[in-house]
Amino acid sequence: MHSLKMRLTISGTVGVVALNLVLGGLIGGVILIWKLAVALWYQELAEQYAVPNLGMCPFHQKGQVLYSDGINPPEGMCGVAWQVIGPMVRRLSEGQTVQPTGTWLNEDSICVFACPDGIRPVIFLLEAQDNSIPLFDTPKGHVKEGHLFVRNEGKTELVPTFKNVPSHISVEMIPAVLHPDEEGLIKIYYDPDVVDDWGFRRDEFDLGLDNGSSNDFNTVTVSANLLDDFSSLSPEQRQNAGHIELSSNVIDFGIIKGNTAKKQTLKITNTGKSRLTIHKVANENRSLNIKLKRNTLNPGKTTELVIEADPSMARNNLLNSRLMVITDDPERPSVPIRVLGSFE
């Protein structure tokens, strides 16, 4: 492998944050030192205060890896844990530290935090990823730029090349050749109008490092939140636009027994003064099927969003997911819906 060090810079931010789950639950599934030092103490708390058969945390398992763009919680993330961990994820994504250097952790790019569950806590290792370019909110109608600083820490010249670049992303290397100890810039141009999508999107391309004798490739991830451009709207135009209102922000299926799918319906109303367009209902959970009856609503009109939970497609027994309704409402362009339940 060639020695190429990458560090991200995009409007003062530092990369996607990976949440590597290293400790979970009351009994078992923990790293050895914590199992020996803490498990019995938590067991005593469980016996004294917990409901019968509480068990381990149902949301997370040891070895699980979750990804956040620094703003939004990962799919499947426990909401209570995110309230505590979210601010730290944001700090890391912005290139800040969570401690004075050297006072607590041995690296500034990581932090270790626990959820607030006092009986069955989960401990997360948060780590900033250097090979990612988060563009955050990316309005349609504008090409957005991002870049990644790279440094050749090897002893030979490197010629970076790019493969499998998506059609809506252009990439250039400045300079074209990296000499030993030289720093360069990978610059990307992201055109949201070329891709037929809305909301959070993640793309990848391959960065090749050619030193004349071999060519190794690394994957670079680009994430963006594709939205309408509201920057030119006046306060009056924003007030007179379409506005979304949900009948509920939480759908709880309770316990779903057997393999029979279960449906629930949620109402979406346009409470604004202009037509509301629903671009997309983003869903990353394969056990959920989504059907939107209408994607445009005149003022005062309502449509239905049918959510079906299919046990036969579930990866585990717990349903803890988040849908995102993407619209042209300038006040609330992305509205989350929490979907909960369990399969038996």
- The phi, psi pair for 241, rounded to 5°, reads -75, 175
Q: What is the mean pLDDT of residues 183-195?
A: 93
- 216 or 15, which is more confident? 216
Distance CA 53, CA 319 (A): 19
Cα distance from N-terminal residue to C-terminal residue, the chain? 47
Q: Are 21 and 85 contacting, i.e. CB atoms less than 8 angstroms apart?
A: no
Distance CA 128, CA 130 (A): 6
Neighbouring CB atoms inside 10 A of 24's CB total 23
Domains defined for the chain, CATH in brackets = 4-8+133-227 (2.60.40.10), 17-128 (no CATH), 240-343 (2.60.40.10)
Q: What is the pLDDT of residue 44?
A: 78
Partners of 213 in the beta sheet?
Answer: none
Which of 9, 272, 6 lies closest to 133, judged by CA?
Answer: 9
pTM recorded for the entire structure: 0.74
DSSP 3-state of 224 = strand
Looking at every residue in the chain, the average pLDDT score rounds to 81
pLDDT tens string 275-292: 999 999 999 889 999 999
Q: Is the pLDDT of residue 92 over 80?
A: no
Torsion of CA 206, 211, 214, 216, to 10 degrees: -20
DSSP 3-state of 314 = coil
DSSP 3-state of 169 = strand
Distance CA 180, CA 187 (A): 20
Tell the burial category of 186 from Cβ atoms under 10 Å away from its Cβ (0-12, 13-18, 19+). buried
Which of 236, 150, 240, 140 lies closest to 186, judged by CA?
Answer: 150
User: Could you tell me the CA-to-CA distances from 205 to 4, 131, 212, 252 in Å, in that order?
Assistant: 17, 11, 21, 38
pLDDT tens string 13-62: 333 444 444 433 222 222 212 222 222 336 778 888 888 887 777 777 76
pLDDT tens string 120-155: 888 887 777 667 787 888 999 999 998 888 878 778
Distance CA 311, CA 111 (A): 36
Give the rounded distance of the alpha carbon of 140 from its chain centre.
20
- 220 or 310, which is more confident? 310
